[in-house]
A and B are shown apart, each in its own frame.
Chain A
């Protein structure tokens, strides 16, 4: 906290850990407060979070499809 009781601005590494829910609870509360007063940063963080969520979904879908395709190919070859 600053002398005026405001949260200290986070480093990027802290914001990154915040996204990963890896900060301690005290600092997480401070960053929650800081983001409420910094809407641009909050918006960018939300955008990054959204993109990473999409990335996870795409990777999961592609892996699931790849496994299915591979299994189909093996089943086809073995006459199953």
Chain B
């Protein structure tokens, strides 16, 4: 009888090689391997013993890798944008064209994460309040007030800078 754990241990060398192929990076390989194993263990009920455990794990690893890559690229792009001031094309922050993006993200990082999540769902993702309320399992009125609270913080960053620059 093959338990999930037994099959997993037996397949480890193949899984490691497959993940090395995905990452091309030994440090990244270990991280992805650990995350893959953790995800696989969490989803072990979905695996049918005796089927292709290597293929199943590689599918999980690829999905995780895509997500990691996406997050890294997003962070890198945001950093790049803030450094190159290309957010100027969105809205100049002041007379010298200084970017507000770092100030805005810094402010967001200090706010209630649940409120920021509501703001992201509505303002960035374009959800209606009732849709965001379902996702976050909270009343529509709470979404409305959270979005306003975060927007108010962003508003202050934008317009406070303008006032300071005008002095």
Taking Cβ atoms with an 8 Å cutoff, the residues of A that contact B are 12-13, 15-17, 19-20, 22, 44, 47-48, 50-59, 61-63, 65-67, 69-71, 73-74, 77-78
Contacts and interface: CB of A to CB of B under 8 A. Distances in A.
B134 interface: no
Contacts, number: 98
Nearest to A74: B62
9 interchain residue pairs of minimum CB distance: A54-B90, A66-B73, A16-B148, A70-B69, A66-B70, A13-B148, A62-B77, A70-B66, A51-B91
A77 B126 CA distance: 35
Contacts of A77: 21-22, 24
Given A56-B123, A65-B77, A66-B73, A44 B159 contact: yes
Interface residues of B, number: 36
B155 A44 contact: yes
A13 B145 contact: yes
Contact of B66 (A15, A22, A58, A71): A71
B138 interface: no
A6 B74 CA distance: 46
B123 to A, nearest CB: 5
A61 B124 CA distance: 12
Main secondary structure of the interface of A (DSSP, over half): helix
Contacts of A70: 65-66, 69-70, 73
B91 A47 contact: yes
Contact of B87 (A20, A54, A74): A54
B34 to A, nearest CB: 19
Given A17-B147, A56-B123, 10 more contacts: A12-B152, A12-B155, A16-B147, A17-B144, A47-B158, A48-B154, A48-B155, A54-B89, A65-B73, A77-B24
B98 to A, nearest CB: 14
Contact of A54 (B70, B91, B129, B159): B91
A56 B87 contact: no
Contact of A13 (B122, B144, B154, B155): B144
